[in-house]
Homo-oligomer: A and B are copies of this chain.
Amino acid sequence: MNLPKPNFTPPFNITRASHVVLTVADLGASRAFYVDALGLIVTEQTPDTLYLRGLAEACHHSVVIKKTTDAPSCERVGLRVFTEEDLDRAKHYFENMGLPAQWVEVPEQGRTLHVSDAFGIPLEFCATMPTRPRLYVDWQKYQSGSPLQLDHFQLHMRNAPKTAAFYSELGFRISEYVVVDDKMTSAFMYRKGGPFDMVFFTAPGPRLHHFAYTAPEAHDLIRACDICGDLGFGDSVERGPGRHGPGGSMFVYFRDPDLHRIEFFTNHYMTVDIEVEPICWNRRDMRAAAPWGLPAQRSWFEEATLFTGVAAAAPSED
């Protein structure tokens, strides 16, 4: 099996997973879940939008939650680039590929570029946001799972190897991947120096499987579950706490009131060095990938959030 070749001189500098834009039926219910039950911080709330961030984040938002009367969906996956010049290069790059890219005004973000990737994921790039003080030493604000910062997105894609090849061109590198019968079924890709920024699984897509926040320690994952239980969100604990094979973290997955999925997990390792080979997991050897614990329930494997106005389709070799 050939992995896509890493591109050490990408056309523009994507620095990290930045934010996700979700639509929901009831902002109050979302706030009760994300803020009261999980511990995210409200940076700002308008009549129809809720801007949230983690305790260690200085940028204005890492989740944007908008009220909709349509079916709940994911509007955009947000990525950060290093400088304004990178934004211009990004526009040029995508247009050269035949992917229409346009400047849009987005509240509480710097200049923002909208483009859909080759598989239909609606992306959003910006180089700056308004900032707020990091709350990382405001211990009273550490509540429930004490989410620190958005770390990565996991996406269901019709063809994980092709998606990985596309993002490799953008400078994403593979830290770990899973194979079944010598075929890659998932790729864990990074920009920021940990193992993940975007994770691609072959499955009906494109869909957002989950977005993930780091939490300080495993007991914070347990506390998030306990507080969910206290507040009537016990059923929102979909999977875990348990131990990941790839990445090696402790994890827990929650479903929000609109069934969007969020993961809290503990610390990751450092990547960056170019001589270190990606780690391969064989999915036929399930006890290698998940050394203990029950398999996830069916919903975890099958359910994911549609992107607004984007139809999902079955996996495809093409």
Contacts and interface: CB of A to CB of B under 8 A. Distances in A.
Interface of A: 8, 15-16, 56-59, 80, 82-83, 110, 127-129, 131, 134, 136-140, 142, 148-149, 192-193, 214, 216-219, 222-223, 225-231, 233-237, 241, 243, 245, 248, 250, 266-267, 269-270, 272-277, 279, 287, 290-294, 297
Contact of A192 (B56, B110, B193): B193
A236 to B, nearest CB: 8
Given A80-B273, A219-B219, A292 B243 contact: no
B82 A8 contact: yes
A228 B139 CA distance: 9
Contact of A245 (B134, B137, B245, B276): B137
A287 B216 contact: no
Query: What number of copies of this chain does the assembly contain?
Result: 4
Contact of A230 (B138, B216, B225, B250): B138
Contacts of A229: 139, 243, 287, 291-292
Contacts of A131: 275-277
Contact of A136 (B149, B248, B294): B248
Nearest to A220: B219
Contacts of A230: 138-140, 291
Contacts of A274: 82-83, 127-128
